[in-house]
């Protein structure tokens, strides 16, 4: 029996993603059946993407308070205090499902959406980072297509709007073949007083929409693309992916920031998933008020749009604000200055209702609480899997008995090779504040303006922030709790290598269908791991995003929590570097390092699926190692610092040689696995002997070769060529 053939005649809700139980709750809440406009609005607001109905209870486990938190979860982006009356706002979000349908526009509008989240809280965007996952590009033309076009979309939007893309990560696994992951992080800055809220305020105040015309872009995106598992037979359900215009967003951004600088707005909100429905209803809910919107006053790109289409359109580059009536003309004047279309479309009321009018005629009326707050939250039924869920890559190297052959294979592999051919598609230095760009250090470093009075002396410190984004699906698949914690530790380790101390975390949780017990177990365990690691390091979570139902008929993606982290360093001029530099510098190992191969890149190289167990970590040792590296970098004791991550200690040493263009002589400790991994715990540092006192010395910088005593020697130029060609050989534009 089809959805429209239900005995009660109410099957239309199922086509919009609502269950029978949810529909019954809606009818009970309204005291009647919803009309077409109301049902469309409710289907979006009660979708997984908007309501977080399978994850909200779990997210309450995350620590959200800290001494530097200015804005926590619940606003468009979180913000932390970095001193000097300056706030840093940041957030990461996914645009996975749209990018799998149309990778260029999906990725581009993902960047546009996360940038709007930043200036919606009053911050000027200063950086973009991305975390990307695809299938195996060597084996799959589809994965190469998605990779190339998603990268092009990210570069197009960021480069055009003038926000630098300063870092990121890309990994390849078979499980992402049908469900690529496109996670975009944006960072912005603002004086404290410009931070603003999205809560609608002031009964009688007017609701004003400004930005692009409203069309049929992305209709149904939040309920269909982002909140359900799509199969090969679901092509007819796929809505139109949104089309982005970065030049329109540039004007929209400048207009928004000027309106805030002039104190003309009572509140501000961007339009993203679910369009006007989500933005307006969330503003009303936060403000404890009602709203009326007349769809005939919304400037349209297509004249024949129905009211429900106008209310759920996901057309890009639009903002919604609440304005006091006597300020409307001034707001319209600023919009005209920036050539941004603006129109008054509604009013704040005291009814607690969201009323939708068409030329004054009521076409929908819903309690704000029902629309925003009353979606049922579900308890998951977690159950650990009883068998391996994932298939590893093809076997390319049968053994690492010859460590040089293995090192070369790892450096040239898609997951470890240089990302330069991708980063070269992005502008990392626009705005002239980038101190460390991709592959110069383990985290990007951005100089901050000095807002308070300074003497102007040349030796004055230049305050800066470091930003990093990390994830590791293979390790989380091995042990979701320990693997997710490890992602937090590694992200903090990246910051430590630049001399930065973490201030806050944002996350993007990418998982399969949470209604399946093993996925529910992965999600629950991973959130517990993230929560514990954040508490271990004293770093609060200030916001984030959840992306579920990343599945295909072949199965779910690897469980992939992605962490974005922001830290502060006192002087940009002392920011750490990755590469060895000075011949004669000693090389030391910092931290307790207990490498293992479960879930590692060497395991993947050997064709092993992610299974086994991760090393047990000492939190005290992690904190001590991070502190030692952070202080060593800040004090300029260390010439270089690099965390030991994918590929193990030998890959980390080779990366230091390649980045610095200089060789090294290494004596590895007896019994230490050169390719085992233990992420977030240990570092390779170099510096003068006196600066490394108390650390175990494992080598010396110098010559043009990497020499591993008793094992091999190889020219750094040969390693550099292999590392540089690994990914570029797979990309059509880099060959």
| Residues 477-506: tens digit of each pLDDT | 999 999 999 999 999 999 999 999 999 999
Catalytic residue among 13, 49, 156, 642: 49
Distance between CA atoms of 108 and 112, rounded to whole angstroms?
Answer: 6
Q: In angstroms, rounded to a whole number, what is the distance separating the alpha carbons of residues 231 and 421?
A: 33
- Mean pLDDT calculated for residue range 29-58: 94
The answer on pLDDT for 7 being more than 60 is no
Residues 561-583 have pLDDT tens digits of 999 999 999 999 999 999 999 99
Percentage of the residues of the chain whose pLDDT score is greater than 70: 92
407 torsion bin: left (phi>0), alpha (psi -120 to 50), beta (else)? alpha
Cβ 405 vs Cβ 712: under 8 Å: no
Q: Quick one: pLDDT band at residue 4, thresholds 50, 70, 90? A: very low
Q: Is 95 a catalytic residue?
A: yes
Lowest mean pLDDT among 138-152, 396-410, 687-701: 396-410
Identify whether 24 is part of a domain: yes
pLDDT digits (tens, 9 = 90+) for 672-686: 999 999 999 999 999
3 state SS for 473-534: HHHHHHCHHHHHHHHHHHHHHHHHCCCCEEEEEEEEEECCCCCCHHHHHHHHHHHHHHHHHH
pLDDT of 15 reads: 86
Total number of domains constituting the chain: 1
Sorting pLDDT into bands at 50, 70 and 90, what band is 1?
very low
Q: Is the pLDDT of residue 48 over 70?
A: yes
Active-site pick, 13, 95, 149, 642: 95
Q: What share of the chain is helix, strand, coil (3-state, %, to 5)?
A: 35, 25, 40
DSSP 1-19: --GGG-TTS-THHHHTT--
Tell me, yes or no, whether 39 lies in a domain.
Answer: yes
* Of the candidates 576, 580, 467, the residue with the CA atom closest to the CA atom of residue 168: 467
What confidence tier does 538 reach under pLDDT thresholds 50, 70, 90?
A: very high
Residue-level pLDDT at 396: 42
The DSSP bridge pattern shows strands 78-81 and 69-71 to be antiparallel
Structural tokens at position 155: 């570069």
16 part of a folded domain: yes
What is the Cα–Cα distance from 253 to 248, expressed in whole angstroms? Answer: 9
Assign residue 85 a region: left if phi > 0, alpha if psi is -120 to 50, beta otherwise? left
pLDDT in tens, 240-271: 677 889 999 999 999 999 999 999 999 999 99
pLDDT band at 17 (very low <50, low <70, confident <90, very high): confident
Inter-CA distances, 276 with 303, 307, 355, Å: 17, 11, 12
559, 639 contact by CB (below 8 A): no
Average pLDDT over residues 75-100: 95
Interatomic CA distance for residues 676 and 471, integer angstroms: 18
Interval 136-151 mean pLDDT: 93
The mean pLDDT of 134-141, rounded to a whole number, is 92
Q: CA-CA distance, 291 to 283, in Å (whole number)?
A: 9
d(CA 577, CA 438): 11
The DSSP element (H or E) to which 564 belongs, if any, is: strand 560-569
Question: Does 308 map to a domain?
Answer: no
Asked if residues 559 and 480 have their Cβ atoms less than 8 Å apart, the reply is yes
User: Residues 402-425: what's their mean pLDDT?
Assistant: 95
Residues 711, 402 contacting (CB under 8 angstroms): no
Examine the pLDDT at 452 and tell me if it is beyond 60: no
pLDDT above 60 for 115: yes
Please return the burial class of 359, using the count of CB atoms within 10 Å of its CB with bins 0-12, 13-18 and 19+.
exposed
pLDDT of residue 219: 78
| Greatest CA separation for the chain | 84
Distance CA 17, CA 562 (A): 27
Q: What is the pLDDT of residue 384?
A: 92
Tell me which of 441-445, 453-457, 610-614 is least confident.
Answer: 453-457
- Beta partners for residue 133, in sequence order: 171, 181
Exposure on the CB side of residue 367, measured as CA atoms within 13 A: 12
The whole-number pLDDT of residue 395 equals 37
Q: What is the pLDDT of residue 9?
A: 43
Contacts of 291 (CB under 8 A, 6+ apart): 200, 207, 280, 281, 283, 284, 346, 347, 348, 349, 353, 354, 355, 368
Residue 585: its pLDDT value, please? 98
Contact (Cβ atoms closer than 8 angstroms) between residue 294 and residue 362: no
Please give the distance of CA 11 from its chain centroid, rounded to a whole number.
36
Q: Would the pLDDT of 10 be above 70?
A: no
Which structural domain range is residue 41 located in? 11-45
Structure tokens at 140: 């799959």
pLDDT at 612 over 90: no
- 637-682 residue pLDDT tens: 999 999 999 999 999 999 999 999 999 999 999 999 999 999 999 9
Q: Answer yes or no: are the C-beta atoms of 673 and 597 closer than 8 Å.
A: yes
CA distance 94 to 183: 4
Residue 688 resides in a domain: no
User: Mean pLDDT over residues 184-207, rounded?
Assistant: 96
Angle at 477 (CA atoms; ends 409, 561), nearest 5 degrees: 100
Dist CA 115 CA 291 (whole Å): 26
Q: Are 344 and 206 in contact (CB under 8 A)?
A: yes
Give the dihedral of Cα atoms 531, 535, 538, 544; nearest 10 deg. Answer: 10
Q: Is the pLDDT of residue 394 over 50?
A: no
Q: What is the pTM of this model?
A: 0.94
Q: How confident is the model at residue 397 (pLDDT cuts 50, 70, 90)?
A: very low
Binned at pLDDT 50, 70 and 90, residue 454 comes out as: low
Residue 373 has pLDDT above 90, yes or no: yes
| pLDDT band at residue 386 under the 50/70/90 scheme | confident
For the question of residue 21 being annotated catalytic, the response is no
Q: Is the pLDDT of residue 361 over 50?
A: yes
DSSP, collapsed to helix, strand or coil, labels residue 178 as coil
Average pLDDT, the chain: 92
Instruction: Report the distance separating Cα 334 and Cα 488, nearest Å.
Output: 42
pLDDT in the model for residue 673: 95
User: What is each CA distance from 392 to 263, 608, 651, 727, in whole angstroms?
Assistant: 56, 5, 21, 19
Residue 23 lies in a domain: yes
As a whole number, mean pLDDT of residues 518-539 equals 98
Distance between CA atoms of residues 500 and 515, nearest Å: 40
Between CA 484 and CA 308 the distance in angstroms is 40
Determine contact, residues 721/408, Cβ cutoff 8 Å. no
> What are the pLDDT digits (tens) for 303-338?
889 999 999 999 999 999 999 999 999 999 999 999
Residue 289's pLDDT band (boundaries 50, 70, 90)? very high
Structural domain includes residue 149 = no
Tokens at residue 584, please? 């004669």
| Mean local confidence (pLDDT), 194-206 | 95
What mean pLDDT is predicted for residues 214-231? 63
With cut-offs at 50, 70 and 90, classify the pLDDT of residue 391.
Answer: very low
Overall average pLDDT of the 42-63 stretch: 94
Which stretches of 60-140 are DSSP H helices? 96-101, 103-120
For the segment 167-188, the average pLDDT, to the nearest whole number, is 96
Residue 412 maps to a domain? no
Distance CA 514, CA 523 (A): 8
Tokens representing 564 are 């974005």
pLDDT band at 221 (very low <50, low <70, confident <90, very high): low
| Kind of pairing between the strands at 353-358 and 361-367 | antiparallel
3-state secondary structure (DSSP) of residue 701: strand
User: Do 186 and 91 form a contact (C-beta atoms < 8 A)?
Assistant: yes
């Amino acid at each position: 029996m089809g959805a429209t053939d239900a005995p009660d005649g109410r099957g239309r809700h199922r086509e919009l993603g609502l269950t029978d139980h949810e529909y019954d709750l809606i009818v009970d809440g309204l005291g009647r059946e919803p009309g077409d406009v109301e049902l469309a609005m409710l289907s979006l607001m009660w979708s997984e993407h908007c309501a977080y109905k399978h994850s909200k209870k779990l997210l309450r486990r995350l620590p959200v308070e800290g001494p530097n938190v200015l804005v926590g979860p619940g606003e468009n982006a979180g913000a932390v205090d970095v001193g000097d009356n300056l706030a840093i706002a940041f957030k990461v979000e996914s645009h996975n499902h749209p990018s799998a349908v149309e990778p260029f526009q999906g990725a581009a509008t993902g960047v546009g959406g996360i940038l709007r989240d930043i200036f919606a809280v009053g911050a000027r965007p200063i950086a973009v980072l991305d975390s990307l996952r695809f299938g195996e590009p060597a084996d799959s033309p589809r994965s190469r297509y998605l990779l190339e076009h998603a990268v092009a979309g990210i570069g197009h939007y960021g480069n055009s709007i003038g926000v630098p893309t300063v870092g990121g990560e890309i990994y390849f696994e078979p499980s992402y073949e049908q469900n690529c992951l496109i996670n975009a992080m944006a960072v912005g800055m603002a004086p404290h007083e410009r931070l603003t809220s999205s809560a609608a305020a002031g009964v009688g105040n007017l609701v004003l929409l400004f930005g692009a015309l409203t069309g049929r872009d992305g209709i149904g995106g939040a309920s269909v693309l982002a909140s359900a598992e799509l199969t090969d037979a679901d092509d007819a359900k796929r809505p139109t992916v949104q089309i982005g215009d970065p030049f329109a967003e540039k004007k929209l951004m400048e207009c928004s920031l000027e309106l805030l600088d002039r104190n003309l707005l009572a509140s501000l909100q961007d339009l993203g998933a679910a369009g006007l429905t989500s933005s307006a209803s969330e503003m009303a809910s936060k403000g404890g008020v009602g709203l009326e919107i007349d769809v005939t006053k919304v400037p349209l790109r297509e004249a024949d749009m129905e009211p429900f289409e106008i209310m759920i359109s996901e057309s890009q580059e639009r903002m919604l604000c609440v304005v006091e009536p006597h300020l409307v003309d001034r707001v319209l004047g600023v919009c005209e200055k920036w050539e941004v279309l603006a129109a008054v479309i509604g009013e704040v009321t005291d009814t607690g209702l969201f009323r939708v009018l068409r030329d004054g005629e009521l076409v929908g009326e819903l309690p704000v609480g029902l629309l925003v707050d009353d979606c049922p939250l579900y308890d998951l039924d977690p159950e650990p899997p009883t068998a391996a869920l994932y298939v590893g890559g093809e076997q390319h190297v049968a053994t690492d008995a010859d460590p040089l052959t293995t090192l070369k294979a790892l450096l040239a592999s898609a997951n470890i090779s240089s990302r330069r051919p991708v980063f070269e598609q992005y502008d990392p230095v626009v705005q002239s504040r980038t101190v460390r760009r991709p592959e110069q250090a383990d985290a990007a470093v951005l100089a901050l303006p000095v807002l308070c009075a300074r003497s102007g002396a040349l030796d004055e410190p230049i305050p800066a922030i470091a930003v990093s984004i990390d994830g590791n699906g293979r390790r989380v698949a091995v042990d979701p709790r320990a693997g997710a914690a490890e992602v937090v530790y590694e992200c903090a380790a990246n910051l430590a290598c630049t001399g930065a101390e973490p201030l806050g975390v944002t996350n993007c949780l990418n998982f399969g269908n949470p209604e399946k017990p093993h996925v529910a177990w992965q999600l629950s365990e991973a959130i517990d791991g993230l929560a514990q690691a954040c508490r271990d390091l004293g770093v609060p979570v200030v916001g984030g995003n959840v992306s579920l139902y990343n599945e295909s008929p072949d199965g779910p993606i690897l469980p992939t929590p992605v962490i974005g982290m922001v830290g502060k360093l006192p002087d940009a001029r002392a920011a750490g570097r990755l590469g060895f530099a000075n011949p004669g510098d000693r090389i030391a190992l910092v931290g307790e390092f207990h490498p293992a191969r479960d879930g590692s890149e060497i395991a993947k190289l050997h064709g092993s699926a992610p299974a086994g167990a991760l090393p047990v970590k000492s939190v005290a040792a992690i904190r001590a190692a991070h502190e030692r590296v952070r202080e060593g970098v800040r004090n300029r004791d260390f010439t270089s610092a690099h965390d030991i991550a994918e590929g193990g200690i030998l890959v980390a040493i080779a990366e230091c040689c390649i980045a610095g263009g200089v060789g090294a002589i290494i004596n590895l400790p007896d019994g230490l696995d050169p390719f085992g991994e233990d992420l977030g715990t240990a570092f390779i540092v170099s510096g003068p002997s006196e600066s490394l006192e108390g650390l175990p010395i494992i080598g010396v910088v110098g010559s043009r070769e990497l020499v591993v005593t008793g094992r091999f020697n190889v020219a750094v130029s040969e390693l550099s060529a292999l590392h540089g060609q690994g990914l570029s050989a797979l990309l059509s534009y880099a060959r």
